Structure 1
Amino acid sequence: MSDSTTRSATDTAAPSTNRDLKKGSLAALRGLLPFLQPYRGRFLMAGIALVVAAGATLAIPYAFKQMIDLGFGAHAGLHSAERVNEVFVALFAVAVVLALATAARFYTVSWLGERVTADIRSAVYGHVVQQSPAFFETTQTGEVLSRITTDTTLIQAVVGTSISMALRNILLFAGGLVMLCITSPRLTAIIIGLLILTILPIVMFGRRVRKLSRDSQDRVADASAIASEILNAMPTVQAFTHEDIESKRFGATVENAFATAMRRIRARALLTMLAIVLVFGTIVFVLWLGAHAVLQGTMSGGDLGQFILYASIVAGAIGALSEVMGEAQRAAGATERLLELMAVQSEIRAPAQALALPPRAANGAALTLANVTFAYPSRPDSAALAHLNLDIRPGETVAIVGPSGAGKTTLFQLFLRFYDPQQGTIRLDGVDIRQLALHDLRGAVGIVPQDTVIFSADAMENIRYGRADATDEEVMRAARLAAAHEFIERLPNGYKSFLGERGVRLSGGQRQRIAIARALLKNPPLLLLDEATSALDAESERLVQAALEVAMQGRTTVIIAHRLATVQRADRIIVMEDGRIVETGTHRSLVALGGVYANLAALQFHNVHVEHSHE
């Protein structure tokens, strides 16, 4: 196997198999930095609001201390009522500041969560659509969709909520700890020592939660992949009466995802219970010591009240941080999965310094293959094409025939540079296609596939897919040339008629004429026709054939066809077998040769004769 084949298989490996990153590690969240950096100003605003809100929260216990000691303590006097009023006014002012800062923080971080998530979704989708077909040979679309939707939603929760909550509670924890030390150093030293002992088991148990979070996300992706596959093949599923079987298969996958999710939920519940019991048990014990200190007169009632409130803030901060840590671990798993997807690189890349195609000739493009050998990345030991040499002149119509598996469709995929050959070169108008920008190469090639893709849009937009900037008049002109105008006009809303998902409202011949109209609108110098009439009835074939005759004028045309009516019109016929060219000539010369083509022709003539005899 060549180095390029090895690299190809590696670069486009399914992301689900590239699991060598630190699984669920919070370090994976560093991958979000490129998406966060453009919004540094917003993060600064959120940070300011966060500090103000945390400061206001930490001021509340001190206000209570003043109220207790000055208003109700041993030193309270004639002016205690005034002091209490002042404290309550100050307390209300702190509450107003807290409310404003919290609202500002919530709005800012929520905006950041939505904005960053939208950017990530766009970036991942934009990266995926740039991948070569080799990527989609090994990756299910449902898996990709799960990552773009479910995983980005988890990231949204972290960016829009969890980061803010984590920073807020870190500030409250640090500030509360400082105030505890000021209030009672002895009790604070005891509480810190006990909290360290309680945090260790929480951290150890958190690792299991992290692993289960990643497993849960993977099982959801599996269910999405199966659902996507089956929904895209419903006619086949129903034709073979597999509805119940597929429902059970999907149900089993959903149950597997549910079981995995329940293991994660149980672990999270135990982690939360463990954190609450250990942390609050520690605090209750320390407060018991404080209560005895007040009884002994070594501590004031206000100091104890302040200590209780600050201890509650610290405990609440630790509990919230453990909850945020669980969310962050889930988001780390999601980020890891998205980074896997973003790390996949297509082996089909435009050169750094692309060459330009020469000015277009009036009669089409020249196409040359020199010693081309190719094997698909998923089947590297089986050559689809072997040492192929072919020279197609501008304006020539060349038909490629041969049995299934001969390599005909593979040629088209190489012409469009969906793959690169392991050996040899393909030149368009004398330029190696690997030296062309992909947009320029594919812009010079039009294709009418055997299975036409119709998008969920109206007829006008489906034809305009051939050239996005075409006017309505240009679209209708292409439709007329493709013999599609009449049937489109008969649709309920004409060119604005919705054609249904995958064109279910159109016949096979109508879909083919839409594809021909697209190719005509694109107006490429090189036209590829992939068995464009193979599945049509006689009337549809006649209409499509007439449209193809128009489409082939003034351009080079390469046709994959089995029907001799199409083949016989070609200037030259190339006969392929096992990835090699075995015969070349016209219909008459190849029949006279008595080789592979003659056998194919005789078989087809025999089938035609049998069909007529039964009519």
Structure 2
Amino acid sequence: MLSSTQRRGLRLAWRFIRPYRWQSLGALLALVITAGITLSMGQGIRLLVDQGFMTRSPHLLNQSIGVFMVLVVALAAGTFTRFYLVSWIGERCVADIRRAVFDHLIQLHPGFYENNRASEIQSRLTTDTTLLQSVIGSSLSLFLRNALMVIGGIVLLFVTNPKLTGIVVLALPLVLAPILVFGRRVRGLSRQSQDRIADVGSYVAETLGQIKTVQAYNHQGEDRRRFALAVEQAFTTARLRIVQRAWLITLVIVLVLGAVGVMLWVGGMDVIAGRISGGELAAFVFYSLVVGGAFGTLSEVIGELQRAAGAAERIAELLQARSEVQPPVAALQALPARATGRLQLQGVSFAYPSRPTPRAIDNLSLTIEAGETVALVGPSGAGKSTLFDLLLRFYDPQQGQILIDGYDLRQLDPQDLRRHFALVSQNPALFVGSVEDNLRYGQLQASDEQVRQAARIAHAHEFIEQLPQGYQTRLGEAGLGLSGGQRQRLAIARALLVDAPILLLDEATSALDAQSEHLIQQALPTLMQGRTTLVIAHRLATVQNADRIAVVEQGRVIAVGTHRQLVSENPLYARLAALQFNPEHEARTP
């Protein structure tokens, strides 16, 4: 029997098959017809033996062969129809499943990915769905076909010779028992096998994704050892599953064909004694082989169906994951076409679900006026980047509220909210595709001239033109092949194209060479003009001219003011300034 979670997985599969019920009915009809034709061939064999061979009549032989050939043609046509429809349904359903899972995953809040490895999710989206495709497009059809063959074959066995059928029926409990016993073991090992395969894929993605670090630290030997261990664990689990399935198939073959052997001996004695004809025995042997072969195939297919149930269960887990950040059910508010950009954080407290203590943000209050440039400075881990996550509503605060133009973020649809923000991060995300595709990432309708104008303002046009295909040059994963400064300038151009009223700059010029920083500093004023801007910076030289600077420590704003005010009034800021602007003096200070 299947567990409740596996039944849920099979219901998931049915949910995606149901829209194609007419194709499914056509496949089922073709399956029934082909099974019926296959079973009717037993009667054809009986007629061929009794009326064709035994009567020595050429006319009857011709008739028998003619009927046989008609059945062959009908069987071929039915098999073509069944195979095409079943394969089409399998491919169509898996395509729908992949789309549904991806569409669901891309809406989940980032916190979901803290506790779930992206590489394991990728394995579920590829390996598990491929297994489902195989089952829906092949194994399920085989299961239904062979189930019909077993049922129809047993009925025709009784019709042909009840005495001999009794021998076969007595063997059925002996066949079903190992299927139930070994099937339960195969089911559990199938789920474990899929998990081990996911571990292998996850390790490959993680290691190859950080190949420079791996090679820089000469870690290849240890990675080979760990990968070999993961592969061996996957192999060991698969071997145990194969052993159980092999025993299952072996027992079924021995028991079924053993019963057929006994039946042949009894039937042969009846033919010799004249109690039945040779045609009856030939038909009975045919049906016995059909039933035996169908049982053997069923034992194999059941293992595949159990693996599919495990795969469907894993996919169902992804589809059942719920985002903790949801648009409100009722009283949905909407921001105007373009927000002014006034932000208020009122008593905000927040801790990441995976790290409940200490709080990343602790009772923080801050107001940013429309069009104002505010810099956030403080030591690493103070909560500056977390503020950006809250403003973009990747997470909701556990206490307090955040307002944009007087609207509580919790009362806004996240997608409606985020169109008012443009983000330039410390390590900008670039995607596989052309330079132009990456620039248009936030504004798909931008014209070619708008793209090039944004690139010129960001001082990116010159280096883009020098690329092999200019704006059509395809970038590697994460912009591989571009320098940090080039990637940063592309990110600024992308933010310019979005033309959002609120700009978030997260260490936009950190870790860049002087030339790249100079070019980006030239681009930033145009980007910031007329926008509410929040800047995270460790290098105070880049934010001295901000309207205000907020000093953040341990999730709290401990001081707000201009650079000059904070140097004289706030010890933490004064110490940071001394370290960066006057290190010799700081070294002499006790």
Q: Same fold judged by TM-score > 0.5?
A: yes
Query: Structure 2 matches for 1:539-554, cutoff 5 A?
Result: 539-554=515-530
Amino acid at match of 1:403: P
1:24–1:211 Cα contact (<8 Å) kept: no
User: Once superposed, which parts of structure 1, at least 4 consecutive aligned residues long, lie more than 6 Å away?
Assistant: 608-611
Q: 1:62 aligns with which of 36, 43, 47?
A: 43
Equivalent of 2:85 in 105, 108, 113: 108
AA aligned opposite 1:360: R
Aligned match for 2:559, one of 571, 583, 593? 583
What is the DSSP-based 3-state SS (H/G/I as helix, E as strand, rest coil) of the residue aligned with 2:439? helix
How much does 1:504 deviate?
A: 2.2
Moved more, 368-377 or 169-178: 169-178
In the alignment, residue 498 of structure 2 is paired with which amino acid? K
The answer for unaligned runs of 5 or more in structure 2 is none
Match status 1:170 vs 2:170? no
Identity rate, percent: 52
Q: Does 1:159 align with 2:136?
A: yes
| C-alpha contact (below 8 Å) 2:264/2:285 kept by paired residues | yes
Answer yes or no: is 1:22 the counterpart of 2:3.
yes
In structure 2, distance between residues paired with 1:232 and 1:312? 54
Q: Is the 8 A contact 2:42 2:287 kept in 1?
A: yes
Pairing 1:285–2:266 present:
no
Whole-angstrom distance in 2 between the partners of 1:442 and 1:161: 45
User: Which moved further from structure 2: 573-582 or 208-217?
Assistant: 208-217
Structure 1 CA distance for aligned equivalents of residues 586 and 489 of structure 2: 29
- 1:304 maps onto 2:281 in alignment: yes
CA contact (8 A) 2:375 2:543 kept: yes
2:504 aligns to what SS in structure 1?
strand
SS in 2 for 1:383: coil
Question: 2: CA distance between counterparts of 1:386 and 1:370?
Answer: 11
CA contact 1:426–1:433 (8 Å) conserved in 2: yes
**How many angstroms does 1:198 deviate by?**
2.4
Contact 1:141 1:228 in 2 (8 A): no
In structure 2, what is the Cα distance between the partners aligned to 1:503 and 1:304?
73
Per-residue CA deviations over 1:581-613 (Å, capped at 9, x if unaligned) read 1011111111111421111111111349999xx
**In structure 2, what is the Cα distance between the partners aligned to 1:228 and 1:608?**
46
Residue 325 of structure 2 is aligned to residue 344 of structure 1:
no
1:199 matched to 2:176? The reply is yes
Does structure 1 retain, via aligned residues, the 8 Å contact 2:52–2:64?
no
For 1:124 and 1:360, the matched residues in 2 are separated by 33
Kept after mapping to 2: 8 A contact 1:413/1:419: yes
- Give the match for residue 417 of structure 1: 393
1:357 to 335, 340, 344: 335
SS at match of 1:584: strand
Are 1:521 and 2:497 an aligned pair? yes
Whichever residue aligns with residue 163 of structure 2, its letter is: R
Equivalent position amino acid for 1:319 in 2? G
How far the C-alpha of 1:547 sits from its partner, in A, is: 0.8
The alpha-carbon distance between structure 1 residues 105 and 594, as it changes in their structure 2 partners (threshold 3 A), is: closer
| Closer, same or farther: CA 608–196 of 1 in aligned 2, 3 Å | farther
Structure 1 match to 2:367: 391
- The TM-score, its normalising length taken from structure 2, stands at 0.96
Q: Deviations over 1:489-510 (max 9, x none)?
A: 1222211122322222211111
Q: Where do 5+ consecutive residues of structure 1 fail to align?
A: 1-20
- Equivalent residues of 2:153, 2:288 under 8 A apart: yes
Where 1:559 maps in the other structure, the secondary structure is strand
* Cα pair 2:338 2:420 within 8 Å, conserved: no
Does the residue aligned with 1:446 lie in a helix, a strand or coil? strand
| Structure 1 residues 525-555: Cα deviation after superposition (integer angstroms, max 9, x where no partner) | 1100001011112221111011111100011
Report the Cα offset of residue 381 of structure 1: 2.6
Shift of the alpha carbon at 1:380?
Answer: 1.2
Give the equivalent residue in structure 2 for 1:85: 62
User: 1:391, 1:512 → 2: CA distance?
Assistant: 28
Q: Are 1:329 and 2:306 an aligned pair?
A: yes
3-state DSSP of counterpart to 2:12? helix
Supply the distance in 2 between the matched residues of 1:497 and 1:168 (Cα, whole angstroms): 52
Superposition RMSD on alpha carbons, in Å?
A: 1.7
Aligned to 1:210: 187
1: distance between equivalents of 2:219 and 2:4?
A: 37
Cα deviation 1:66-117 (Å, max 9, x = unaligned): 12112344xx37xx22111101000000000000000111111111111111
Structure 1 counterpart of 2:338, one-letter code: R
Of residues 517-526 and 231-240 in structure 1, the stretch that sits farther from structure 2 once superposed is 231-240
Q: Does 1:431 align with 2:407?
A: yes
What's the TM-score once normalised by structure 1's chain length?
A: 0.93
1:599 lines up with 2:575 in the alignment: yes
User: Using the alignment, how far apart are the partners of 2:584 and 2:537 within structure 1?
Assistant: 16
Counterparts of 1:138 and 1:608, CA distance in 2: 45
Residue matched to 2:426 = 450
Q: What is the CA deviation profile of residues 339-361 of structure 1, one whole-angstrom value per residue up to 9, with x for unaligned ones? A: 11111111011223431103436
Instruction: State yes or no: 1:486 paired with 2:462.
Output: yes
Give the CA deviation at 1:466.
Answer: 2.2
Q: Is the counterpart of residue 557 in structure 1 residue 533 in structure 2?
A: yes
- Matching residue of 2:97: 120
Matches within 5 A, 1:130-141: 130-141=107-118
Q: Tell me if the contact between 1:575 and 1:583 (Cα under 8 Å) persists in the aligned partners.
A: yes
**Residues of 2 paired with 1:498 and 1:85: CA distance?**
69
- Residues 178, 248 of structure 2: 8 Å contact kept: no
Closer, same or farther in 2 for the Cα pair 1:66/1:26, shift >3 Å?
A: farther
In 1, Cα distance between the equivalents of 2:31 and 2:179? Answer: 26
